[in-house]
Amino acid sequence: MARITQELALCLPALTKAVFSQPTEANGAKKIELRPLLLKGERRYQAERLEGTKAFHENFTEAALLAWAEERLEGRYRQVLLVTETESRQFILKRDGSYKKTGSAAALPRPAGAQGHNREKDYILREGEEIPALVDLGVFTKDFKIVKARYDKFRQINRFVELVAQDVRDDGDTIRILDFGCGKSYLTFILYYYFAVRRGLKTEIIGYDLKADVVARCNEIAERYGYEGLRFEVADVTRDRLAETKIDMVVTLHACDTATDYALAYAVKHGVRHIFSVPCCQHEVNLSIQKGGELDLLLEHGIIKERVSALLTDAIRAAVLEDAGFEVDVIEFVDFAHSPKNLMLRARYTGKHRRGGREKAEALQKQYGFRQSLLDLIPGT
Ligand SMILES: C[S@@+](CC[C@H](N)C(=O)[O-])C[C@H]1O[C@@H](n2cnc3c(N)ncnc32)[C@H](O)[C@@H]1O
């Protein structure tokens, strides 16, 4: 039976941030954030209370803070995040009024600024980390070992999140992400865990999928562990209305066929800064391409035509994004042996438009008569 005031007291000497959210009473502050500060050389703690749209600040000594926490915070917030210089821990309130730890991890240092792409490797998730949501999702066993049958998936997602972590470093205190075609949502949960628990950011993620049962299950798990800000919606991303708020990142992992194009088009149209997209089953070009010139030899045999069509699709996607002002890398994000669908388009908006590729793609489209949705969805600039 953890009492959150005691947990807070233990953390105080090394505390960097504490966040109390999801109040149990409608009339309390929506959220409270605690941070240490130095006042005339003395360590104090500042509480920021968010009430409506206003923020109120109050400074405390250690003893006064703990007395205030006992009176005003204990049992009154469903979700608590305690971040120290070395560790980040997340708790949720149980029905009996005690708190249960739902995640813990070594805290990540927040570097001063973004760096290039060739940075040291960040290990994001290790076997043995206490992430009960991954037990519910069937990725970890009850003692937090990787389920053997999920090993490849775990490796893929870990690598995916490592790449995200390398690129997204200095983007403020809040991150908003959309996952198109989230399926069972291993990636979505791990991204949430990384940003909310490891980095201590306010994290809002929506996972979209066609399958209502899978979406309901993912929402249940997110709710069970108090993952505020993580939700799932049933949507056909090629047709339905999607989030209209500011979004920082769009991710897709093996979203089928043109669902990837709609995700990329969303990112371009909504001014999204980061895209991490691993495409899958690029049928559209394969089904529509016809013979028309020097490349006809590549269309003679089904398997070669399929592979060429997939590569052509992704080359066109990269060219459209570059034309729209993104810097794009196409990388093999895991070994081919772990997943044959292993190309990732990693794009960051820079505002520099790279011309030429899109025009070449349009010329090929005319010559070979194929359809490619992103070319239709995003007009040339
Ligand atoms: C191969 S699964 C990948 C799931 C997950 N991203 C992962 O890597 O484990 C593809 C998912 O995309 C979803 N999907 C396909 N087309 C979609 C669409 N038009 N709108 C929303 N979801 C879609 C499917 O229902 C399926 O769950």
Beta strand spans in 70-181 (E): 77-84, 87-93, 99-106, 174-180
75-134 residue pLDDT tens: 999 989 998 888 888 898 988 999 998 888 776 554 433 333 333 344 578 788 888 889
For the CA atoms of 218, 224, 229, 231, the dihedral, rounded to the nearest 10 degrees, stands at 20
The model scores a pTM over 0.85? no
333 Cα to the center of ligand 1, angstroms: 19
Q: What is the CA radius of gyration of the chain?
A: 23
294 Cα to the center of ligand 1, angstroms: 35
357-368 vs 302-323: helix axis angle to the nearest 10? 140
Q: Under a CB-based contact definition with an 8 Å cutoff, are residues 334 and 342 in contact?
A: yes
How many Cβ atoms sit within 10 Å of the Cβ of residue 117? 12
Give the pLDDT confidence score for residue 109 in this predicted structure. Answer: 52
Q: Under a CB-based contact definition with an 8 Å cutoff, are residues 291 and 345 in contact?
A: no
Our answer on whether the CB atom of 266 is closer than 6 Å to any ligand 1 atom is: no
Q: Under a CB-based contact definition with an 8 Å cutoff, are residues 30 and 19 in contact?
A: no
Give the pLDDT confidence score for residue 122 in this predicted structure. Answer: 43
In the structure, what pLDDT confidence band is assigned to residue 1 with cuts at 50, 70 and 90?
Answer: low
Our answer on whether the CB atom of 182 is closer than 6 Å to any ligand 1 atom is: yes
pLDDT (mean) for 40-46 = 88
| DSSP letter (8 states) at residue 197 | I
How many Cβ atoms sit within 10 Å of the Cβ of residue 367? 14
Q: Under a CB-based contact definition with an 8 Å cutoff, are residues 321 and 352 in contact?
A: no
Q: Break the chain down into helix, strand, coil percent, rounded to 5.
A: 35, 30, 35
> What is the overall mean pLDDT for the chain?
90
Q: Under a CB-based contact definition with an 8 Å cutoff, are residues 339 and 331 in contact?
A: no
146: pLDDT strictly greater than 80: yes
51 Cα to the center of ligand 1, angstroms: 38
Q: Residue 206's beta-bridge partner residues?
A: 178, 231
Our answer on whether the CB atom of 208 is closer than 6 Å to any ligand 1 atom is: yes
- State the chain's maximal CA–CA distance in angstroms: 79
Give the pLDDT confidence score for residue 123 in this predicted structure. Answer: 54
Ligand 1 atom with the smallest distance to the CA of 156 is: 8
Q: Residue 175's beta-bridge partner residues?
A: 203
Our answer on whether the CB atom of 181 is closer than 6 Å to any ligand 1 atom is: yes
Our answer on whether the CB atom of 101 is closer than 6 Å to any ligand 1 atom is: no
- Spatial separation of the C-alpha atoms in residues 44 and 59, rounded to whole Å: 7
Give the pLDDT confidence score for residue 107 in this predicted structure. Answer: 65
Between the alpha carbon of residue 340 and those of residues 154, 176, 306, 336, 337, the distances in Å are 15, 29, 13, 5, 7
- Spatial separation of the C-alpha atoms in residues 161 and 157, rounded to whole Å: 6
Concatenating the DSSP letter of every residue in 292-305 gives -SGGGGGGSSHHHH
Residue nearest to atom 12 of ligand 1 (CA): 181
How many Cβ atoms sit within 10 Å of the Cβ of residue 5? 19
- Spatial separation of the C-alpha atoms in residues 211 and 258, rounded to whole Å: 17
Domain 148-377: assigned CATH number: 3.40.50.150
Domain ranges of the chain: 4-106, 148-377
Q: Under a CB-based contact definition with an 8 Å cutoff, are residues 59 and 37 in contact?
A: yes
Measure the CA angle with vertex 126, ends 254 and 162; round to 5°: 45
259-299 residue pLDDT tens: 999 999 999 999 999 999 999 988 999 999 999 999 999 99
pLDDT (mean) for 168-183 = 89
330-372 residue pLDDT tens: 999 888 777 778 899 999 999 999 999 999 999 999 999 999 9
Measure the CA angle with vertex 325, ends 321 and 326; round to 5°: 55
- Spatial separation of the C-alpha atoms in residues 253 and 260, rounded to whole Å: 9
Ligand 1 atom with the smallest distance to the CA of 237 is: 20
Our answer on whether the CB atom of 308 is closer than 6 Å to any ligand 1 atom is: no
Let me know how long the chain is. 381
